[in-house]
Structure 1
Amino acid sequence: MPRSTMQVPQDKDDLVCQPWYHGQLSRQEAEALLLQDGDFLVRASESRGGRPVISCRWLGKTLHFEVFQVTLRPRPGRPQALFQLEDERFASMPALVHSYMTRRRPLSQATGAVASKPVRRQRPLTRSFSEDVLTDSPADTRPLRPRKWSSSQPADLDHSGRGEDGTRAGAPPTFGSALHRTGSEPTLPKALPHLGTMTDSLRASDGQLHAKAPSKPHRIPPTYCELLPRVPSAQRATPRPSCPEPEVWGWDAEEEEDEDRHRCFVRPQTEVSFCSPVHPSCLLGPQNRPLDPTVLHTLRSLFVAHHPGSTALHLLLVDCQAIGLLGVTKSQQSAMGVASGLELLTLPHGHQLRLEVLERIETLALAGALAVLGCSGPLEERTSALKGLVELALALRPGATGDLLGLAGVMGALLMPQVSRLESTWRHLRRNHTEAALVFEQELKPLMRALDESTGPCNPGEVALPHVAPAVRLLEGEETSGPLDESCDRLLRTLLGARQVARDAPLFRRAAAQRLQGFKPNPELREALTTSFLRRLLWGSKGAQAPRDDRLQKFHRILGILSQQLEPRG
């Protein structure tokens, strides 16, 4: 089969000029053309209504990757659609293929498949989808047949540019989306299985290509497979329920800013809570005891399977929903009289939200401390958990993910007395993971001190979710420690900072939406980071209903006992 090094054509956005584009081609025909690892081609899938698919040979198997396509609202100087596999978006299919091939980037992290050798077409091209969508070239805007809405568009979207739920056509893709592939293996079950042993097989999914964010995920026959690798977990006597479909979140930042500018004050009606609704848990049963060993083992495997950057994005998504920065409904905005929870935190009727924020930070800190103190094995195991928390804090800091609410929870775990007293563990960290220990002492601790004193960074471009704990504690009546003059200065800085945060809420919302753009969360990890899950994990389904102060006092005693058992004093 003739092959050649990729050459960018003169009209780089014209798909039909690309030698690796084969037009309408079945999966079987594509597999017959791909002979060696790295061989690839782009085709219009017959079984997927003509949608663009990258077929690639890798490790002796032919994999098929469906390309996500997001149609944008018409605007001068902007492409008509964006194309995406896992993370980065491109203005055209040729640009996407050229980037992945020349930079030898894996088409998916789960498979590691690299498309490096294009297979040229040997027959006249048969077009199957309109070039006004697949390319951004003016010459291709004339359709080859009468314009109609094909099966490549979601079935429940009308032709006016809005769906049944009123979302606009240019909305970013939903976070619930996932990358799809198919192989030669039989169709896998439609249900999402729980984390199992590491194998080469991949989970089944039935996602489809969305042009805009629908109100609910669309269900179609499970032909393409979701690239979510399985990781080791504990064996279970009874199967756990599958995770519910995550809520669909999509934002048009420009449109929301326009609405903010024209919004009039509405008298608040009641306090608003952003606690996630109770769904059947895919990790916990209907009734659970506190600190279930099987669940703890599963969580440890789950966090090990995700690098700190991925965990930080999961935490940012959950934190933004818990504080009411993203995903706020019109009814919630009308009820609280403002557009986001960052503004509600500063108002008298934001009392309930302030309590939820404080409990979230405290619960995250307790769970992080448990990750270290619950390691009853070798010293290296405990040190690795400590190092993992430091790496997660680095991924959450300003300039990275910028989730300062999550950073406060993680640093709360690292600075907790029951953890900081573990002299042997910290000594082992400094000796075997010197870089992590130095970063914690020289960067993270001073940063957290500055944030608590309201002198740390809080620019919306650098930060996606600001550090609101000082203002929340102050507004809930907690006293400011220190000399009187310093306390007054800190009080004024905190109040001025809270005012600025409320004023910059639209900018923080935009920054958070940009960081989460195209992000596809793992449902189990996402649930494991919610406040309601952590509360049930730490105190059990019955103990989670107890008063907050009683729960916190009891668990701190438990952590103190665990700390003494790990390193008895003197």
Structure 2
Amino acid sequence: MQVPQGGEDLAGQPWYHGPLSRQKAEALLLQDGDFLVRASGSRGGPPVISCRWRGLALHFQVFRVALRPRPGRPAALFQLEDEQFSSMPALVHSYVAGRRPLSQATGAVASRPVVRQGPLRRSFSEVALMDSPAQAEPFRARKWSSSQPADLEHAGQTGQDDPGAGAAAMPVCTLPRMGSDPTLLKGPPPLGTVSDTLRASDGQLHAKAPTKPLRTPSLALPEAPGCTPTYCELVPRVPGAHKSPPGQRCPEPESPWWEAEEEEEEEDGCFVRPQAEVSFCPLAHASCLLGPQNRPLEPEALHTLRGLFLEHHPRSTALHLLLVDCQATGLLGVTKDQRGAMGVASGLELLTLPHGHRLRLELLERHEVLALAGALAVLGCAGPLEERAAALRGLVELALALRPGAAGDLPGLAAVMGALLMPQVSRLERTWRQLRQSHTDAALAFEQELKPLMRALDEGAGPCDPGDVALPHVAPAVRALEGEEPAGPLEESCERLLRTLHGARRAARDAPRFRQAAARRLRGFRPHPALREALTTGFVRRLLWGSRGAAAPRAERLEKFQRVLTVLSQRLEPDR
């Protein structure tokens, strides 16, 4: 069922069920992906998205930001974690149509709306959810001045005995308290009626006067100890412009996991020999870019990715890649259980140990699939020659944004340079000539800066200071520890091997400093969910080989895709 876009009345949406209890909502969610929107009666009517995911019923409270009345803009904005929308229908349409996770912590994706049966039953507190001016006017006319506390005793009295049939059908609930008002002990008058006994000073209640902030916090407060939490998502991040009232302490928004401070290790802790190898690859979850079963190199997914990368500046893409690389390497986001299982504090230490075999294979896999994806970005451009030259320039600019002194992500830099130096890409003479003619600065930076830097890093002589580097180049050490012999004369190979092993030991020793450098670069960074997913190892594997081919042996997958790249390269520029 198609979800209506923003701009429509919330009450007219088939997936909106009005005031509905948590238990009744869970009874309506039967399969993974089922969702509905309801007004939570226990919390005074805030919108809640209820969704079933992986057999569990999850509830996500939507944060509502009230705006000062102004012509041409909405009365409020709605958000779950990052992006804000002008209406609830617009928010739901964006998450459902784009198959975006409702929260990064759960990965839950809403896909099938549960249609409301019967007429909609509204409560008084539900008026705050409606963003149409016609529905907001009666609520605005009934606000009371904070300078008339005596009048609040008569808030439930009217000069009419019969409020009308339409108002009598609406249930009565408690008014939200204003900024300096005392607690309301009596219920408000029914909708559609206003007290006629106003004092002389009630001129303050002009309709154009700005509304006072609610004393009750807009964010969900932490649950009491020992109680089952009602909402499973993280507390949404609040824009800095919306301050809490003086004297009111609201809970601080949770920092992302890459900004969390590392726990101090116990000095008297004893090392326990690991019983199982540790993996830092995130658990598989529903993709917002690929379906449950996909074929290799789906054109629609490639088109979406192309637009996604074109929307982001190379510096932004570099920070996304640094974040994913730090997670895949085990530099940031390492849990206490993972540290206890591997016996060390980070993946930079684990990859030098015998029980780091699984991590080393994952890092080799990541380096290879990212290089293949970068080569495909160039070889997949079957259009004009300038289009391929622009793709080369984009990779060069990304490599410059990843180099030491910038993002400092050397594994990401090695993957991008691996794509540019791949034989199928290097042989494109006409494309490289066009790059030198149309994008001279990028061509000079590649030849004079990036290629010498990459050669030094591969030989173990490149920069590795944690001040300039956030994540060191570990691919040579991983290959050496996995038994791959370095190429070249024996004497030079031995010297290179010694430098590589010494660099790996230095990286393991300086792991806390690298962690601080990476966290400093990522402080305040808020990634785009789709771009972050597009840079993960699991997604690239599925994109290149399909959901079935991704499970094939690594050597077989690499050999097949190398042949695909060779065919593409020959079609673009046949041998003369």
Contact 1:325-1:340 within 8 A present in 2 as well: yes
1:278-427 → structure 2 map (5 Å cutoff)? 278-427=284-433
Q: How far, CA to CA, are the matches of 2:479 and 2:531 in structure 1? A: 29
1:249 to 247, 252, 257: 257
Alignment of 1:533 with 2:574, yes or no, is: no
* Unaligned runs of at least 5 residues, structure 2: 1-45, 48-62, 80-145, 148-177, 181-214, 243-249
Q: How far, CA to CA, are the matches of 2:224 and 2:331 in structure 1? A: 30
Which residue is equivalent to 1:549? 555
Contact 1:66-1:181 within 8 A present in 2 as well: no
Q: 1:346 to 1:430 in 2, by over 3 A?
A: same
Alignment of 1:151 with 2:151, yes or no, is: no
Contact 2:466-2:517 within 8 A present in 1 as well: yes
Q: Deviations over 1:37-59 (max 9, x none)?
A: xxxxxxxxxx99x999997999x
Which residue is equivalent to 1:465? 471
1:147-296 → structure 2 map (5 Å cutoff)? 151=217, 154-156=220-222, 177=237, 211-213=252-254, 249-253=257-261, 255-256=262-263, 258-259=264-265, 264-296=270-302
Contact 1:460-1:508 within 8 A present in 2 as well: yes
Residues matched between the structures, number: 381
| AA partner of residue 443 (structure 2) | A
| AA partner of residue 508 (structure 1) | F
2:505 to 481, 499, 506: 499
Contact 1:63-1:181 within 8 A present in 2 as well: no
1:119-158 → structure 2 map (5 Å cutoff)? 151=217, 154-156=220-222
Which residue is equivalent to 2:88? none
1:487 Cα deviation after fit: 1.3
Q: How far, CA to CA, are the matches of 2:267 and 2:447 in structure 1? A: 43
Q: Deviations over 1:424-480 (max 9, x none)?
A: 000000000000000011001111111101111111111111100010000000101
Which residue is equivalent to 2:568? 562
Q: 1:472 to 1:336 in 2, by over 3 A?
A: same
| AA partner of residue 295 (structure 2) | R
Q: How far, CA to CA, are the matches of 1:321 and 1:175 in structure 2? A: 22
Which residue is equivalent to 1:94? none
Q: 1:466 to 1:261 in 2, by over 3 A?
A: farther
Please state whether the residue corresponding to 2:477 is helix, strand or coil.
Answer: helix
Contact 1:65-1:180 within 8 A present in 2 as well: no
Contact 1:175-1:249 within 8 A present in 2 as well: no
Q: 1:66 to 1:264 in 2, by over 3 A?
A: farther
1:180 Cα deviation after fit: 9.3
1:344 Cα deviation after fit: 0.5
Alignment TM-score, normalising by the size of structure 2: 0.60
| AA partner of residue 515 (structure 2) | R
Q: 1:355 to 1:176 in 2, by over 3 A?
A: farther
Contact 1:175-1:250 within 8 A present in 2 as well: no
Please state whether the residue corresponding to 2:546 is helix, strand or coil.
Answer: helix
Contact 2:220-2:235 within 8 A present in 1 as well: no
Please state whether the residue corresponding to 2:383 is helix, strand or coil.
Answer: coil
| AA partner of residue 332 (structure 1) | Q
| AA partner of residue 375 (structure 2) | A
Please state whether the residue corresponding to 1:300 is helix, strand or coil.
Answer: helix
Q: How far, CA to CA, are the matches of 1:502 and 1:336 in structure 2? A: 14
| AA partner of residue 299 (structure 1) | L
* Unaligned runs of at least 5 residues, structure 1: 1-46, 68-123, 130-148, 165-173, 183-208, 215-247
| AA partner of residue 530 (structure 2) | E
**Structure number with bigger Rg:** 2
Of the structure 1 ranges 515-524 and 547-556, higher mean CA displacement relative to structure 2 is found in: 515-524
Q: 1:427 to 1:63 in 2, by over 3 A?
A: farther
Q: How far, CA to CA, are the matches of 2:514 and 2:409 in structure 1? A: 10
Q: Deviations over 1:82-119 (max 9, x none)?
A: xxxxxxxxxxxxxxxxxxxxxxxxxxxxxxxxxxxxxx
| AA partner of residue 529 (structure 2) | P
1:266 Cα deviation after fit: 2.9
Q: 1:177 to 1:274 in 2, by over 3 A?
A: farther
- What is the root-mean-square deviation in Å for CA atoms of aligned residues? 3.7
Q: Deviations over 1:501-530 (max 9, x none)?
A: 001111111111111112111111111111
Contact 1:312-1:396 within 8 A present in 2 as well: yes
Q: 1:558 to 1:178 in 2, by over 3 A?
A: farther
Q: 1:177 to 1:408 in 2, by over 3 A?
A: farther
Alignment of 1:517 with 2:517, yes or no, is: no
Please state whether the residue corresponding to 1:481 is helix, strand or coil.
Answer: coil
Q: Deviations over 1:300-333 (max 9, x none)?
A: 0011011111111111111111111111111111
Please state whether the residue corresponding to 2:468 is helix, strand or coil.
Answer: coil
Contact 2:237-2:253 within 8 A present in 1 as well: no
Q: 1:423 to 1:64 in 2, by over 3 A?
A: farther
